[in-house]
Amino acid sequence: MVILARVTASETNQGTAAKTPALKEWAAIVHALLEGEQIVDVRKGGLHEDGRHFGLATRRCWLSPTTEHQQAGLLKPAYAHWVDLADASPVGQPVTVHGWADIVDVALIAGPEHVDALDSKLVWTREYLESRFKWKARDPLWVLVLRVHRLADPVTAPWREEYGGCTSWVTYDELPDDPAMLSSEEALSDVAFEAKHKGIRDALPEECWNPPDPRSLA
Domain boundaries, the chain: 2-217
Report yes or no on whether pTM surpasses 0.75.
yes
For 143-198, what is each residue's pLDDT tens digit?
899 999 999 999 999 988 888 777 788 999 999 999 999 999 999 999 999 999 99
Architecture of domain 2-217: Roll (2.30)
> How confident is the model over 91-106, as pLDDT tens digits?
778 899 999 999 999 8
Q: DSSP secondary structure string, 66-124?
A: E-TT--GGGB-GGGTTHHHHS--B-TTS-EEEEEEEEEEEEEEE--GGGHHHHHTT-SB
